[in-house]
Structure 1
Amino acid sequence: MQHDFLENNPVASLLTKVFKSPLSANASHDAEYEAWRDRFMRKRLDVGLWIGLMAFLSSSLLQVSNWLFRPGAFEPEWLRSQVSIELSLLLCLLLQHSKLGRRYPSLVFLAFYWSVTIVPQVQDILSGVAQPDILVWTIMFFGQATFTPVRWYLHLVAQLGVFLYFFGVNTALGVTLSSPGWLDPPVVILYFFWVCFIGNLSVYLYEQLQKAEFKARWDLEEAYAQLEEEQKLSESLLLNVLPHSIATRLKQNPKNLADSYTNVSVLFADIVGFTELSSHISPWELVELLNQIFSEFDALAELHQLEKIKTIGDAYMVVSGLPEPRDDHAQAIADMALDMQRAIATFNQKTGQNFRIRIGIATGPVIAGVIGIKKFIYDLWGDTVNLASRMESHGIPGAIQVTRETYQFLKGEYLFQERGKVLIKGKGEMTTYLLMGKNPGDIEDEKSQN
């Protein structure tokens, strides 16, 4: 019922607009705009009140100067009027900085408006003759429209209040109404009609412009925020594909990137029996199992600060010593391989599977770079990469097979079993080694250091 009353009663609807809290807006955009307009109004009102107060104080000082030095020009009624307005403006300043004024700046606006236009009329009522103050009212109507151009309906309410008071109170009290000698009443009415119309129209147009500008800024900020989120997402996706330093270089120079490294260690791993399993379980189950295993491997690569290169089916490739070179590249890749064996054993215990992993490691020079313009990847090339792949493919299920070069890097810190001569495709016979674990003495040293 209350809603129907407000909808069908234009006066009630207008008063609701005047005194409503900006926080009552439903849409966040409208609420932000209302809050912004209120902040704008409070700032303008604060400056306007001080300017108004100083203007009337200067007029009072002029009358005091006349009283002291030019008694013939002194007008006591004018001084009393000025002082009453100054007191009213001081009260408006107190209201401006009160909790009520901060919440409802519209009240301060109306109080400011009526302090200048209505307060002097009280003296006319007491004198028994009322006359519209063309000079003060015009300055106030235009001044507020240009200095505080907010909410056209506030200006309309303020102007109506002036005329309702002037005609209503004076008529009710039987005060004689008069107009300036040089203007007839119809001319005065027409004059103030156009003054108010022009003022309100300018405020309305300015308010529409401000709303449009605010919405444009709002949309622009939202666009920038969305662009920033998309850039972060793109950055995250890029870092999932490329190492951070390579991604940075690629953004600065999108041409082909390639670097050569003297000593790195490359690991290939293959899950034995996974291909046969794929023919017995659903694709979803297959992918889920593989995702669980490779997610564990990814965590281990991050733990040992290694660079995952790619996965091909159920094969996993990781490298140590690039893109940032490191002296312990062989040790880091060995620790990764041993942890991968433990991760597979733990996975089998949890899932009841019987997977084994075959791992091959080679150490030596490689070339690394980014290839392609679509779905590009960071990849490795060179004899070391081929040897690591052969170490895996010619290895033993459940074992870690390494080349002689890798063995030379690790033999003092890790336990090995010489496998002997192995016929390697494309290489002939090669002496390879099986990494069995870490040297117990080194494990004790690490525990003591930790």
Structure 2
Amino acid sequence: MSELQAGVDAVNLLRNIGVGIAIADAGDWTVSFENAKFFQWFPSEEDVDAPIPQRIPGFDAAAAVSRMESGRNYKLEGETKGEGRRTPFRLSVSKIAETDPPTVLVECYDVSKERQAEYMLESYSGIAERRTKELEREKARVERLLLNIMPKTVYEELKDYGTTTPQRFDAASILMLDFVGFTNMAISHDPGALVSELNDIFSAFDRIVEMFNCERLRTVGDSYMAISGLPDPSPDHTQNIAKVALRMRRYLERRNTAHSHQWTCRIGINTGPVIGSLVGVQKYVYDLFGPGVNLAARMESMSEPMKITLCKETYETIKDDFVFTERGDFEIKGFGTKQLYFLEGEGTRRLG
């Protein structure tokens, strides 16, 4: 093959490849050769002999010369300015002949697919980030719901192992509360307003329970059950549940002075052995069983409006820290005869 034929073939190759190619003079940046792709991307709009800096957006001739004098290529990224859809490009200028001024090769590559891949990657990354945040929010919501029905330590065990082990507590304190005449209230009052008021009251009870490191175990209808001394043992669990009972009653007394709708409660407290366990397969409920719970329920049913009732065994535990009124002996179903007391307040003065 002759040198002439080889040169012709090389020129034809440059004209037809998908890369924009131009050869220019680095002095005035006039183009001596350009292929169709380069002309398509960077047309001469007015002057057919327009130099490279006028045809390529953002081209810095001085920076290009400086880079090549230091032995490096000048690089630029941007978008073509031809008619129709703009094409993102990556451009490289390199010295190909040590003439004066130097002859340079301008290579321009279409990076549309690369940019599209970057955009898709960013888009997928954004979607994944949003999904992760949604999952985190859902996880937090589920955690809040579970913590509403079980103590935190039980929840942690369930989360770590997928199951929980029933535990026996030799001494825990239980509070039972319900409202006097709630059935009639439910019939005679607007249901929405009644539930709203009950929700306000139970929310206040929750705050009181939390103040003394106790746990709200459950609410069923108008009944409220709180516990102290489990699952984390506390030497002051009986004192704490007594303080909770007194503050619940005080809250209702103050609320009743400011509202026309009066709420009257009965409260029973008891200290005794219980078993705590998570029950259910699809719907979890943390519940307590045992004589300690049963006797607390009996104390609540034996109590009187706006009174707090407890038996002698619980009284003996906290008698030096609170004020009591002796009620006498009562027959308690399942427990025989027991001496009962009203818890009146904090202090050491005994009432007759």
**1:115, CA displacement in angstroms?**
3.6
Q: 1:333 aligns with which of 235, 241, 257?
A: 241
Match of 2:187, SS state, is coil
Matched with 1:323 is 231
Match of 1:312 among 217, 220, 236: 220
Instruction: State whether structure 2 residue 294 is matched by structure 1 residue 360.
Output: no
Is 2:151 the partner of 1:243? yes
Segments of 4+ moved more than 4 angstroms: 109-113, 148-160
Shift in CA distance, 369/200, structure 1 to aligned 2, threshold 3 Å: same
Aligned-pair CA distance for 1:428: 2.7
Q: Cα 1:219–1:421, aligned 2, differ >3 Å: closer, same or farther?
A: same
Instruction: State the alpha-carbon separation in 2 of the partners of residues 274 and 365 from structure 1.
Output: 30
CA positional deviation for 1:150: 5.4
User: In structure 1, what is the Cα distance between the partners aligned to 2:125 and 2:347?
Assistant: 65
Confirm or deny that 1:114 pairs with 2:114.
no
Q: The residue matched to 1:433 in structure 2 has which SS?
A: strand
SS in 2 for 1:422: strand
TM-score normalised to structure 2 length? 0.71
**Residue of 285, 292, 305 corresponding to 1:377:** 285
Q: Give the one of 235, 251, 255 matched to 1:347.
A: 255
Gaps of 5+ in 2: 1-24, 28-53, 98-104
Q: Is the 8 A contact 2:266 2:300 kept in 1?
A: yes
Q: CA deviation at 1:266?
A: 0.6
Q: Structure 1's 265 and 115: CA in aligned 2 closer, same or farther, altered over 3 A?
A: same
Q: Does 1:200 align with 2:114?
A: no
More strand by share: 2
Contact residue 360 and residue 402 of structure 1 kept, 8 A: yes
Q: Any conservation in 2 of the 1:364–1:384 contact (CA below 8 Å)? A: yes
Contact conserved, 1:149 with 1:207, CA < 8 A, in 2? Answer: no
Q: TM-score, normalised by structure 1?
A: 0.56
Partner Cα distance (2:236, 2:138) in 1 = 37
Q: Which one has a larger percent helix, Structure 1 or Structure 2?
A: 1
8 A contact 1:272–1:357 mirrored in 2? yes
Contact 1:320–1:333 under 8 Å retained in 2: yes
Question: How far apart, in 1, do the equivalents of 2:88 and 2:182 lie?
Answer: 81
Report the counterpart of residue 347 of structure 2 in structure 1. 439
Instruction: Provide the rounded CA distance (Å) in 2 between the counterparts of 1:369 and 1:153.
Output: 73
Match among 310, 313, 332 for residue 424 of structure 1: 332
User: Structure 1 pair 158/357, CA: closer, same or farther in 2 (3 Å)?
Assistant: closer
| Alignment RMSD | 3.4
SS at match of 2:170: strand
- What percent identity do the matched residue pairs reach? 35
1:19-30 maps to which residues of 2 (within 5 A)? none
Q: Secondary structure at the match of 1:236?
A: helix
User: Match of 1:434, as an amino acid?
Assistant: F
The aligned amino acid for 2:241 is I
Of the two structures, which has the highest relative contact order with CA contacts closer than 8 Å and spacing of 6 or more? 2
- Residue 283 of structure 1 aligns with which residue? 191
Aligned to 2:124, the other structure's residue is in SS state helix
For 1:424, the aligned partner's letter is I
Note the C-alpha offset of 1:402: 0.3
Distance 2:310 2:183 in 1: 24
Q: C-alpha offsets along residues 97-133 of structure 1, whole Å, 9 cap, x if unaligned?
A: xxxxxxxxxx9x955553466x69xxxxxxxxxxxxx
Q: Contact between 2:77 and 2:88, CA under 8 Å: does it hold in 1?
A: no
Partner of 2:318: 410
Q: Count residues with an aligned counterpart.
A: 282
Cα drift, residue 417 of structure 1: 1.8
Aligned match for 2:140, one of 228, 232, 235 = 232
Letter in 1 for 2:269: I
**Cα deviation 1:180-218 (Å, max 9, x = unaligned):** 9xxxxxxxxxxx9xx86xx433x1221112111121112
Q: 8 Å contact 2:154–2:164 — kept in the other structure?
A: no
The residue matched to 1:432 in structure 2 has which SS? strand
Structure 2 SS opposite 1:278: helix
Superposed displacement of residue 344, structure 1:
1.1
Mapping of residues 98-247 of structure 1, within 5 Å: 114-115=61-62, 144=75, 151=79, 199-201=108-110, 203-247=111-155
CA contact (8 A) 2:249 2:306 kept: yes
Aligned residue in 2 for 1:259 = 167
Partner in structure 2 of residue 271 of structure 1: 179
Counterpart-to-counterpart distance in 2, 1:288 and 1:398: 21
C-alpha separation in 2, matches of 1:297 and 1:306: 11
Output the amino acid matched with 1:298.
D
Q: 2: distance between equivalents of 1:372 and 1:149?
A: 63
Moved more, 228-237 or 308-317: 228-237
